[in-house]
């Protein structure tokens, strides 16, 4: 028997005995054989395709230890638990493990009783761990989620940059870099940062498996409010009961979790702000099938292996196509149909813009923060969790900026940081030979990264508004041919069972479209959606008054229409390419060339028409006439026609005399608003208007979902003040 045949037989035996498979999945054999033959490799393979086996199987065939770098504790735990269940000696070393347990695991490594050890990149800060590596026979270094080493990737982590130096010391080890999402530029950067193909190493083999996942139904659903998003989740759960709801922030995770609880949906939550014990419990409950739904930030999911995930919902828009596709790729690992829906709200891009700004601070801010950190460390080393630095520094209240800058200071050699085993504390001290010029040399790259990240976010927004196949958009982005077929039959554009099929406007709707586009054109790219709608509706607006827009033609041309309906129509016209949006933070709107043609009715437009408000579509319709054009109920009947709030219709609250109890609550809300305005150094009316506070006092909502139904309480105000307002009501 030849050596190749013997190796093949041994791999087949290991594959069957330890993993229960009779053959490799497509794309697995080639990287495994490359590693076993002594070569390095970069593997790009979509989530669920079996990347982990590409290093787990060689670990069993090679002598010595396989060292696996993994960015998240949840990822390590899931894979180690799975390997141990299969009888494979594996362990992990991370900050959640006690000192005694760590010592026992290290002893097992020294004694050769462990084949795979998972570590976080931060572990390489520890000098004792570095000394341990020199004692071990490392046959393979597997860098999982290797896109984290690239500044051009969607999830750059400075600690991954240490791995280039580690590779130089492991001259006898094979190197295997793995990721689910990497554009050609990111793949090249991974190779460069790890030093593959240099220092005597041969050029790595690069394996890219297809990204197309035809069992994933890709959908973007415009939602005007949190209530609308919650309605979508409720409908999706009726057809697809098991899955993940991703949110951008920890606070949003807790709010969505609360709302699902109010709907009696069995679920758990997961985010990085929870203790290690709570995160572990949440992960175990979800993976063990105890709860069908998890609400989480992107801290949850890397390497989580639950084959029956039937949906992935994005409550907020992700920051890039890479992040989005990695997260939706966690659904449908068993090949069955799975639903992936992005609940899009115009305001959500602002959250990603906040993250982008925090990850790419201005050079002047970086230097200002360095002066503050230097001043604090001159008194001696500081030991505290990284989050605490955000409380100590005055130049910014963006903790993401602080996190980014501390990483920059360390990369520049200005500070030294070591992590304390068993907790999340870092001991930070000044480097003895620090030179601020090295920090200044890094700043141009930060600006370049800002531009790239902004481009990624812009492309993500383009995906939302795209008028072509969702799958084709993704494949085009990653540089993979989409094939001859122009329709995937698995997205909301190509169709599957769209709830609101796109259609051209009726004659009455044409007039509405032309009026709205006229308002956009009149304001000529100077204002965003809210101001344009205030102009069109002739509603009270400080911006309209300050700029004397009431003197501009088309002012009030849509007076009497529903603001919510016009917002939804505006978003549909953006999606259709008739209205163009500028960059953050203001997203000023202007007519596109196609929009001008539509405004003159020289070109048609196809939209998913939003539903008219209940009060306009209830009674009194005329046969053959759209419900929204029918005669409205008389004023005395409007209150009965509304079903959303048990209170007077918006716009009429101020005409009603408050009861004594309502007046007392109103005073408490005004006192809260006054304190909030002073704290933010902002005019009180920018927090909440009297009209809104009166409506809250009268309706007394007890949940965020109910509060959002109050006039003036949109998603942005709910995000900023919702919890505080409910607390005022609870304390009444």
Residues 133 and 252 in one domain: no
SS3 165: helix
Nearest to 616 by CA among 641, 636, 640, 639: 641
List, in sequence order, every residue forming a beta bridge with 92; answer none if it has no partner. 118
Q: How far apart are CA 558 and CA 568, in angstroms?
A: 14
Nearest to 71 by CA among 6, 161, 9: 161
- Say what the pLDDT of residue 500 is: 54
Given pLDDT bands bounded at 50, 70 and 90, which one contains residue 424? Answer: low
Which strands form 311-314's sheet, in the order they lie side by side?
216-222, 338-344, 311-314, 243-246, 293-296, 267-270
The Cβ of residue 625 has, within 10 Å, a number of other Cβ atoms equal to 12
In a domain, 487, yes or no: no
User: Cα–Cα distances in Å, from 32 out to 51, 175, 420?
Assistant: 10, 12, 36
pLDDT surpasses 70 at 160: yes
- Domain termination residue (choose one: 152, 185, 208): 208
SS3 sequence, 588-614? CEEECHHHHHHHCCCCCCCECCCCCCH
CB 99 within 8 A of CB 421: yes
Lowest mean pLDDT among 50-59, 662-671, 702-711: 702-711
Residues 191 and 226 in one domain: no
Task: Supply the pTM of this predicted model.
Answer: 0.61
CB 314 within 8 A of CB 248: no
The pLDDT tens digits of the residues spanning 330-377 come to 888 777 889 999 999 878 888 898 889 888 999 999 999 999 999 999
- With a pLDDT cut of 70, the percent of the chain lying above it is 86
Provide the CATH number for the domain around residue 569.
1.10.10.10
Q: How far apart are CA 477 and CA 218, in angstroms?
A: 15
- Say what the pLDDT of residue 94 is: 82
In a domain, 376, yes or no: yes
Domain count, the chain: 5
Q: Mind giving me the DSSP string for 521-579? A: HHHTTSS-HHHHHHHHHT---HHHHHTTGGGSTTTTTTTTS-HHHHHHHHHHHHHTTSE
Residues 202 and 222 in one domain: no
- Domain termination residue (choose one: 208, 241, 273): 208
Residues 222 and 148 in one domain: no
The pLDDT tens digits of the residues spanning 169-179 come to 999 999 999 98
CB 46 within 8 A of CB 329: yes
Residues 306 and 441 in one domain: no
CB 76 within 8 A of CB 117: no
Domain range for 533 is 507-599
Question: Average model confidence (pLDDT) for the chain?
Answer: 82
In a domain, 140, yes or no: yes
Q: How far apart are CA 634 and CA 619, in angstroms?
A: 11
- Say what the pLDDT of residue 366 is: 94
Given pLDDT bands bounded at 50, 70 and 90, which one contains residue 656? Answer: low
The pLDDT tens digits of the residues spanning 382-418 come to 888 877 888 888 888 888 899 889 989 988 999 988 7
pLDDT surpasses 70 at 485: no
In a domain, 502, yes or no: no
Provide the CATH number for the domain around residue 717.
1.10.150.80
Lowest mean pLDDT among 133-142, 350-359, 636-645: 636-645
pLDDT surpasses 70 at 421: no
Given pLDDT bands bounded at 50, 70 and 90, which one contains residue 280? Answer: confident
Provide the CATH number for the domain around residue 11.
3.40.50.300
Residues 133 and 14 in one domain: yes
- Say what the pLDDT of residue 682 is: 63
In a domain, 333, yes or no: yes
Residues 57 and 189 in one domain: yes
Residues 658 and 595 in one domain: no
CB 498 within 8 A of CB 515: no
pLDDT surpasses 60 at 296: yes
Given pLDDT bands bounded at 50, 70 and 90, which one contains residue 634? Answer: very low
User: Cα–Cα distances in Å, from 110 out to 106, 117, 306?
Assistant: 6, 12, 33
Provide the CATH number for the domain around residue 391.
1.10.10
Residues 566 and 472 in one domain: no
In a domain, 635, yes or no: no
Torsion of CA 493, 495, 501, 507, to 10 degrees: 60
The Cβ of residue 682 has, within 10 Å, a number of other Cβ atoms equal to 11
In a domain, 77, yes or no: yes
Q: How far apart are CA 148 and CA 158, in angstroms?
A: 8
Q: How far apart are CA 257 and CA 267, in angstroms?
A: 7
- Domain termination residue (choose one: 190, 208, 226): 208
Given pLDDT bands bounded at 50, 70 and 90, which one contains residue 608? Answer: confident
The Cβ of residue 654 has, within 10 Å, a number of other Cβ atoms equal to 12
SS3 sequence, 613-680? CHHHHCCCCCCCCCHHHCCCCCHHHHHHHCCCCCCCCCCCHHHCCCCHHHHHHHHHHHHHHHHHHHHH
SS3 27: coil
pLDDT surpasses 70 at 239: yes
Residues 14 and 147 in one domain: yes
Q: How far apart are CA 61 and CA 57, in angstroms?
A: 7
The Cβ of residue 501 has, within 10 Å, a number of other Cβ atoms equal to 10
Q: Euclidean distance between the first and final Cα of the chain, in Å?
A: 84
In a domain, 226, yes or no: yes
- Say what the pLDDT of residue 389 is: 86
CB 232 within 8 A of CB 223: yes
Residues 12 and 145 in one domain: yes
Lowest mean pLDDT among 209-213, 356-360, 436-440: 209-213
Residues 47 and 155 in one domain: yes
| Average of per-residue pLDDT across 92-116 | 88
């Amino acid at each position: 028997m030849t050596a190749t045949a013997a190796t093949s037989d041994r791999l087949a035996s290991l594959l069957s005995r330890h993993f229960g498979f009779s053959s490799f999945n497509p794309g697995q054999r080639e990287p495994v054989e490359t590693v076993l033959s002594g070569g390095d490799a970069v593997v790009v393979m979509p989530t669920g395709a079996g990347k982990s086996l590409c290093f787990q199987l060689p670990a069993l065939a090679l002598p010595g230890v396989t060292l696996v770098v993994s960015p998240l504790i949840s990822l390590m735990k899931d894979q180690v638990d799975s390997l141990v269940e299969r009888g494979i000696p594996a362990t992990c070393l991370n900050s959640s493990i006690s000192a005694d347990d760590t010592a026992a695991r290290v002893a097992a490594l020294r004694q050769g009783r462990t084949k795979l050890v998972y570590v976080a990149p931060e572990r390489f800060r520890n000098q004792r761990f570095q000394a341990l590596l020199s004692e071990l026979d490392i046959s393979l270094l597997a860098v999982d989620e290797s896109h984290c080493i690239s500044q051009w990737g969607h999830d750059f982590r400075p600690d991954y940059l240490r791995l280039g130096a580690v590779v130089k010391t492991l001259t006898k080890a094979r190197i295997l870099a793995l990721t689910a999402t990497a554009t050609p530029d990111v793949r090249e950067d991974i190779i460069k940062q790890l030093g593959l193909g240099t220092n005597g190493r041969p050029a790595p083999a690069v394996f890219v498996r297809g990204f197309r996942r035809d069992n994933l139904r890709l959908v973007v659903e415009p939602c005007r409010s949190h209530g609308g998003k919650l309605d979508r989740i409720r409908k999706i759960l009726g057809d697809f009961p098991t899955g993940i709801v991703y949110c951008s922030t920890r606070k949003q995770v807790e709010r969505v979790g609360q709302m699902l609880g109010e709907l009696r949906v069995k679920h758990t939550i997961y985010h990085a702000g929870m203790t290690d014990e709570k995160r572990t419990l949440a992960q175990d409950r979800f993976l063990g099938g105890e709860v069908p739904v998890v609400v989480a930030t992107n801290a949850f999911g890397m390497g989580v292996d639950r084959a029956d995930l039937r949906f992935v919902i994005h409550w907020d828009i992700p920051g890039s196509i890479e992040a989005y596709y990695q997260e939706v790729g966690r659904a449908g690992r068993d090949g069955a149909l799975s639903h992936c829906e992005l609940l899009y709200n115009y305001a959500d891009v602002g959250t990603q813009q906040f993250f982008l700004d925090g990850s790419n601070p201005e050079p002047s801010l970086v230097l200002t923060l360095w002066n503050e950190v230097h001043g604090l460390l001159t008194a001696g080393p500081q030991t505290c969790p990284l989050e605490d630095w955000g409380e100590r520094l005055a130049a910014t209240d963006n903790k993401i900026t602080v996190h980014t800058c501390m990483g920059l200071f360390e990369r520049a050699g200005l500070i030294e940081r070591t992590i304390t085993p068993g907790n999340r504390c870092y001991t930070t001290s000044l480097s003895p030979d620090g030179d601020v010029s090295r920090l200044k040399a890094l700043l141009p790259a930060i600006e370049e990264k800002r531009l790239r990240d902004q481009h990624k976010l812009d492309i993500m927004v383009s995906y939302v508004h795209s008028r072509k196949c969702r799958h084709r958009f993704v494949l085009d982005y990653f540089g993979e041919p989409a094939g001859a077929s122009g329709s995937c039959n698995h997205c909301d554009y190509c169709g599957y069972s769209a709830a609101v099929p796109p259609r051209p406007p009726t004659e009455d709707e044409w007039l509405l479209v032309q009026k709205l586009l006229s308002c956009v054109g009149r304001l000529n790219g100077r204002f965003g959606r809210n101001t344009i709608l205030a102009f069109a509706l002739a509603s009270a607006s400080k911006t309209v008054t300050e700029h004397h827009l009431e003197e501009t033609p088309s002012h009030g041309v849509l007076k009497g229409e529903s603001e919510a309906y016009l917002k939804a129509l505006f978003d549909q016209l953006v999606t259709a390419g008739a209205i163009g949006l500028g960059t953050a933070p203001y997203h000023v709107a202007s007519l596109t060339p196609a929009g001008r043609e539509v405004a003159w009715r020289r070109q048609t437009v196809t939209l998913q028409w939003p539903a008219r408000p209940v009060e306009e579509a209830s009674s009194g319709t005329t046969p053959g006439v759209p419900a929204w054009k029918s005669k409205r109920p008389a004023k005395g009947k409007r209150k009965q026609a509304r079903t959303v709030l048990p209170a007077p219709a918006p716009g009429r609250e101020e005409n009603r005399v408050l009861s004594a109890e309502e007046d007392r609550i109103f005073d408490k809300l005004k006192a809260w608003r006054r304190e909030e305005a002073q704290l933010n150094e902002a005019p009180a009316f920018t927090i909440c208007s009297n009209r809104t506070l009166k409506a809250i006092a009268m309706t007394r909502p007890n949940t965020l979902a109910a509060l959002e139904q109050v006039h003036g309480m949109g998603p942005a105000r709910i995000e900023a003040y919702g919890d505080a307002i409910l607390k005022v009501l609870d304390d009444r």
